[in-house]
């Protein structure tokens, strides 16, 4: 079921919107396919910041249960079948099949398409000669449908479930297959499916029409006939098999716009008054809009008299009938588009799907979204119209990439009330990396955002870093400075835990998975981003947070290179110096691995000799797990060089590496023990690439994180710097006043000026650290020996204190208090915050 912006303000007004969202998915794409799964067309719902709310989809019983729960039990009487009613100037009396009667002032027939209230009312009016001839005619039955909802499915087999948006797929058969089948991904890892057959075209559909039940033996022919139909998720038969029989229904797509809605004290609402085809999803929306308008009209009845009641019910119909007539016609056109299979309907479909400009479709969506009735006896939900003065609005930020940098930027912009949308090319993000470390340099921002305690809940503080040779003889030990000096402990954890934390704090309707960027154009008016599937998104700023192989950066650089504006260094490829296998074990037995019981994380670097040019690192992390990482220097080991030419780490050709390193010793046994305890899907092959790009921004476009500066992971600074980029960029965007091309360019220039020199210094540090940890050439062995054995502890601690002083935070929310005794570098102040503070001071002085 789908609800649109036309009814969602009423839900918000009633305090039901958040609960509704808890079991819903926002509507994203509507894709139309041929029965060979060739994409015909893609429609994209307009963003909530344009039309007010996303379309949301869910299983119909969820909404019913929510509404039922809000009605006091004593006001609902089940199993009450109406037999008749009588009305006069005094009131209305109903008689039920259990011989009970009830009296009231108004009778509302909300009892569906085959309304008993309507039937009795029309029978009475017909006897009196007061019923229009059109209301004597039966409803039209043009289609028959089988509908069902699967049990929960495996997200690994159906990756659409990882997308926070609902995917809607229409598959339309050709003239020899006059069926349409529709699929919706809904919360709970379920798929709703719907097979629609047009009556009068397919003999088996007409046979079904004569049957009162959809699944007797004589009708099994239909199910067998359509099992092989293709869908984006396999075949329909797979979905039939995953759907319990009790959740499959046969439904007639009936329709009729009745002309008589009210007489005396009786009124009809919803399907009882106007049964629509479900092609636009407007049936339920209009039924609930009826309820809003009728409640408003009833509220205005003062005093309660027969004449005032009749006037109120007439007013209700006057407000609704013309709107319903228009939507009724639209549902017919949409049905021809979606379900029609005769010659003229195929022509209509071809024209509407291929020839109607996107701008016209968007204009229609905006026009439709403007009618949003609310109860006039409650405080209104304020839905401000979009400002025509673009300079007075904050910029709309389009973020490409839902990695750590993209999600963290989204969370910051959410706090700053700056509109944004995140687009991720993958249907689901699978964060690479076994273990991850965050330092004081970003933990202050987590503290400020209220995320620190949750982060700590799945982390271990970093304690000792021990270096061993391959015989497990200790070479050196480093101890991180205490939190009371540097402010926060280093925190180690499994990378997916952090990703899930950030994902949880990102509004689902602002994150769109499976959106692959194709190109973008920018000028003084804005940036227009083209995604795969004909989706076009417009915004004020484009942020490339899409990783080391950023599509945003590649497209920007291609354009700048054609214009002769790209530095030569930015045309060169990234360096590939190392290759790594990394993974995280399942939970292990603390009795066998006592280090797991220690509250701090133990980090062990084991460095091979010249005959074993590997470094292997093991970390204890929460959950009684061990993360491991085997790093091989390219150009030193033939096995590593063979791996570099392979696209997959675990093919038979690459098993050689695993066999070579199984016997490597660790403080916890051999590497083979850890390999055996690690599921294959949690093992990755990663290149340690690096490059500091010179060009970070141009016009309205900026790149952050790995898209701007891919660092070696030797200091753990990659993720920290990516999220620091997000903090500084959010601050610079917050200062954009007024919103225009020049102020946007200035803000993006300011972002780079605040970050570039800091990144350049850290980039050099990662090189030195990589030589210490992973290097196996003669000069690197000498450097490692010197730094691990001769560098005084006092100098190492001094470097830690200096490194902990840079802790950027958001300027637009209260700062986290300073922690630790070491000094903190001052942040560049916000021009906007200063101006707002000055206004507050002047106002206080005036008072």
With residues binned 3-state (H G I as helix, E B as strand, rest as coil), the percentages for the chain, rounded to 5, are 40, 25, 35
The answer to whether position 722 is within a domain reads: yes
CA distance linking residue 199 with residue 417, whole number of Å: 51
DSSP of 396-431: PEEEE--SHHHHHHHHHHHHTT--EEEE-SSSS---
Best CA proximity match to 327, nearest among 385, 255, 272:
255
Q: What pLDDT does residue 218 have? A: 43
Average pLDDT of every residue of the chain: 86
Confidence of residue 189 (pLDDT cuts 50, 70, 90): confident
CA distance linking residue 377 with residue 278, whole number of Å: 31
- Phi, psi of 218, rounded to the nearest 5 degrees: -70, -15
The answer to whether position 161 is within a domain reads: no
Number of domains in the chain: 1
Q: What pLDDT does residue 651 have? A: 42
Tens-place pLDDT, residues 325-379? 988 888 888 888 888 888 888 887 777 777 777 777 777 778 878 888 999 988 8
Tens-place pLDDT, residues 132-146? 999 999 888 888 888
Cβ neighbours for 413, distance < 8 A, ≥ 6 positions apart: 397, 419, 420, 730, 733
Inter-axis angle of helices 282-299 and 306-339, nearest 10: 170
CA distances from 160 to 166, 426, 688 (A): 8, 10, 30
The answer to whether position 280 is within a domain reads: no
CA distances from 743 to 372, 391, 543 (A): 36, 10, 16
Domain that holds residue 755: 397-803
Q: Residue 383 above 70 pLDDT?
A: no
The answer to whether position 645 is within a domain reads: yes
Q: Residue 62 above 70 pLDDT?
A: yes
Q: What pLDDT does residue 22 have? A: 85
Confidence of residue 660 (pLDDT cuts 50, 70, 90): confident
The three-class DSSP label of residue 787 is: helix
- Phi, psi of 664, rounded to the nearest 5 degrees: -60, 135
- Phi, psi of 616, rounded to the nearest 5 degrees: -125, 135
The three-class DSSP label of residue 197 is: strand
696: left (phi > 0), else alpha (psi -120 to 50), else beta?
A: alpha
Please say whether the beta carbons of 517 and 662 come within 8 A.
Answer: no
Q: 129-151: b or e for each residue (b if 16 or more CB lie within 10 Å)? A: eebeeebeeeeeebbbbbbbbbe
> What torsion, rounded to 10 degrees, do the Cα atoms 547, 549, 552, 554 define?
160
Q: Residue 49 above 60 pLDDT?
A: yes
Q: Residue 617 above 80 pLDDT?
A: yes
Percent of the chain clearing pLDDT 70 (strictly above): 91
CATH of residue 459's domain is 3.50.50.60
Tens-place pLDDT, residues 569-600? 999 999 888 888 888 899 999 999 999 999 88
β-pairing verdict for 140-149 and 107-109 = unpaired
CA distance linking residue 529 with residue 308, whole number of Å: 56
The answer to whether position 819 is within a domain reads: no
Better pLDDT: 520 or 383: 520
Tens-place pLDDT, residues 398-433? 999 999 999 999 999 999 989 999 999 988 766 555
Q: What pLDDT does residue 345 have? A: 80
Confidence of residue 462 (pLDDT cuts 50, 70, 90): confident
Best CA proximity match to 499, nearest among 722, 803, 687, 186:
722
Q: What pLDDT does residue 808 have? A: 95
Q: Which residues face 266 on adjacent strands? A: 107, 263
Q: What pLDDT does residue 654 have? A: 45
Tens-place pLDDT, residues 216-256? 444 466 777 888 999 988 899 999 999 888 888 888 888 89
Query: What is the model's pTM?
Result: 0.59
Please calculate the CA angle 797-802-808 and round it to the nearest 5 degrees. 135
Cβ neighbours for 604, distance < 8 A, ≥ 6 positions apart: 466, 468, 617, 618, 619, 666, 667
Q: Where are the alpha helices (DSSP H) in 231-305?
A: 236-241, 282-299
DSSP 613: -
Q: Residue 736 above 70 pLDDT?
A: yes
Q: Residue 533 above 80 pLDDT?
A: no
DSSP of 115-143: -HHHHHHHHHHHHTT-S-GGGGSPPEEEE
Q: Residue 154 above 60 pLDDT?
A: yes
Q: 662-680: b or e for each residue (b if 16 or more CB lie within 10 Å)? A: eebebebeebebbbebbee
Residue with tokens 């929960």: 152
Q: Residue 303 above 90 pLDDT?
A: yes
Please say whether the beta carbons of 68 and 56 come within 8 A.
Answer: no
Tens-place pLDDT, residues 763-788? 888 888 888 888 888 888 888 888 77
> Prior bond to 738 cis, omega within 30?
yes
pLDDT (mean) for 439-464: 92
CA distance linking residue 604 with residue 492, whole number of Å: 13
Burial class (CB in 10 A: 0-12, 13-18, 19+), 127: exposed
Confidence of residue 309 (pLDDT cuts 50, 70, 90): very high
pLDDT (mean) for 552-579: 93
Confidence of residue 125 (pLDDT cuts 50, 70, 90): very high
**Chain centroid to CA 205:** 38
Q: What pLDDT does residue 709 have? A: 96
pLDDT (mean) for 277-303: 91
Q: What pLDDT does residue 202 have? A: 58
Residue with tokens 């910051």: 412
Residue with tokens 């280090």: 595
Q: What pLDDT does residue 482 have? A: 79
Best CA proximity match to 551, nearest among 706, 721, 688:
706
Best CA proximity match to 450, nearest among 396, 509, 504, 511:
504
The number of residues in the chain equals: 847
Please say whether the beta carbons of 193 and 215 come within 8 A.
Answer: no
β-pairing verdict for 683-692 and 709-710 = antiparallel
Confidence of residue 182 (pLDDT cuts 50, 70, 90): very high
69-73, 172-176, 796-800: the lowest-pLDDT one: 796-800
Best CA proximity match to 191, nearest among 138, 148, 250:
148
The answer to whether position 51 is within a domain reads: no
């Amino acid at each position: 079921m789908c609800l649109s912006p036309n009814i969602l303000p009423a839900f918000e007004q009633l305090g039901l919107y958040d609960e509704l969202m808890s079991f819903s998915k926002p509507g994203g794409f509507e894709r139309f396919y041929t029965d060979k799964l060739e994409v015909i067309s893609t429609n994209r719902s307009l963003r909530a910041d344009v039309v007010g709310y996303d379309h949301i989809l869910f299983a119909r019983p969820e909404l019913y249960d929510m509404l039922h729960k809000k009605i006091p039990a004593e006001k609902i009487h089940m199993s009450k079948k109406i037999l008749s009613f009588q009305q006069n100037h005094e009131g209305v009396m109903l008689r039920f099949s259990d011989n009970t009667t009830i009296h009231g002032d108004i009778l509302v027939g909300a009892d569906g398409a085959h309304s008993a209230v309507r039937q009795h009312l029309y029978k009475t009016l017909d006897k009196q000669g007061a019923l229009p001839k059109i209301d004597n005619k039966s409803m039209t039955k043009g289609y028959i449908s089988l509908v069902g909802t699967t049990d929960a499915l495996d997200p690994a087999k159906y990756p659409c479930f990882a997308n926070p948006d609902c995917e809607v797929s229409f598959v339309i058969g050709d003239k020899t297959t006059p069926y349409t089948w529709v699929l919706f991904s809904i919360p709970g890892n379920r798929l709703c499916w719907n097979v629609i057959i047009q009556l009068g075209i397919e003999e088996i559909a007409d046979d079904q029409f004569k049957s009162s039940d959809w699944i007797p033996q004589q009708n099994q022919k239909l199910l067998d006939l359509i099992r092989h139909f293709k869908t984006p998720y396999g075949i329909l038969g797979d979905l039939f098999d995953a759907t319990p029989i009790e959740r499959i229904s046969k439904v007639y797509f009936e329709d009729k716009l009745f002309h008589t809605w009210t007489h005396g004290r009786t009124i009809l609402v919803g399907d009882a008054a106007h049964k629509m085809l479900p092609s636009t999803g407007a049936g339920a929306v209009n039924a609930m809009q009826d309820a809003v308008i009728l409640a408003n009209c009833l509220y205005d009845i003062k005093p309660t008299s027969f004449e005032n009641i009749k006037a109120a019910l007439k007013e209700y119909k006057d407000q609704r009938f013309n709107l319903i007539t228009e939507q009724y016609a639209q549902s017919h056109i949409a049905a021809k588009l979606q379900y029609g299979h005769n010659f003229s309907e195929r022509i209509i479909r071809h024209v509407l799907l291929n020839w109607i400009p996107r701008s016209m479709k968007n204009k229609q969506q905006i026009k439709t979204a403007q009618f949003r009735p609310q109860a006039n006896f409650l405080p209104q939900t304020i839905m401000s119209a979009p400002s025509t003065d673009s300079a007075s609005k904050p910029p709309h930020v389009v973020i490409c990439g839902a990695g750590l940098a993209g999600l963290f930027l989204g969370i910051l912009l959410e706090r700053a009330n700056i509109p944004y949308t995140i687009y991720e090319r993958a249907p689901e993000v699978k964060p690479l990396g076994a273990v991850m470390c965050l330092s004081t340099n970003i933990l202050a921002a987590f503290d400020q955002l209220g995320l620190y305690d949750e982060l700590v809940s799945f982390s271990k503080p970093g304690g000792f870093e021990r270096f061993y040779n391959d015989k497990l003889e200790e070479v050196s030990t480093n101890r991180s400075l205490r939190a009371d000096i540097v402010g926060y402990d280093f925190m180690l954890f499994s990378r997916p835990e952090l990703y899930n934390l950030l994902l949880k704090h990102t509004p689902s309707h602002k994150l769109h998975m499976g959106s692959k960027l194709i190109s973008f154009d920018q000028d003084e008016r804005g940036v227009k981003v083209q995604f795969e599937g004909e989706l076009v998104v417009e915004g004020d700023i484009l942020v490339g947070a899409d990783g080391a192989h950023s599509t945003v950066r590649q497209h920007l650089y291609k354009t700048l290179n054609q214009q002769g504006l790209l530095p030569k260094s930015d045309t060169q490829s990234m360096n590939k110096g190392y290759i790594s296998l990394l993974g995280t074990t399942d939970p292990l037995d603390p009795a066998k691995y006592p280090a797991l019981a220690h509250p701090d994380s133990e980090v062990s670097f084991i460095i091979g000799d010249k005959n074993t040019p590997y470094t292997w690192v093991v970390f204890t992390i929460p959950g009684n797990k061990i993360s491991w990482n085997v790093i091989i220097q390219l150009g030193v080991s033939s096995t590593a060089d063979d791996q570099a030419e392979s696209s997959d780490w675990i093919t038979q050709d690459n098993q050689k590496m695993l066999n070579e390193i199984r016997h490597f010793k660790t403080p916890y046994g051999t590497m083979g023990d850890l390999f055996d305890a690690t599921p294959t899907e949690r093992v990755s092959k990663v290149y340690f690439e690096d490059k500091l790009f010179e060009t970070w921004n141009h016009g309205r476009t900026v790149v952050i994180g790995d898209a701007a500066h891919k660092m070696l992971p030797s200091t753990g600074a990659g993720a920290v710097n990516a999220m620091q980029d997000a903090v500084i960029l959010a601050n610079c965007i917050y200062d954009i006043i007024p919103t225009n091309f020049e102020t946007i360019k200035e803000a993006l220039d300011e972002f780079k000026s605040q970050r570039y020199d800091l990144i350049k210094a850290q980039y050099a540090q990662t090189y030195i650290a990589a030589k210490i940890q992973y290097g196996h050439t003669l000069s690197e062995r000498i450097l490692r020996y010197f730094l691990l054995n001769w560098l005084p502890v006092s100098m190492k601690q001094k470097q830690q204190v200096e490194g902990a002083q840079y802790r950027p935070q958001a300027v637009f929310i209260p700062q986290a208090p300073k922690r630790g005794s070491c000094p903190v570098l001052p942040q560049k102040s916000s021009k906007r915050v200063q101006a707002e503070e000055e206004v507050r001071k002047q106002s206080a002085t005036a008072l």
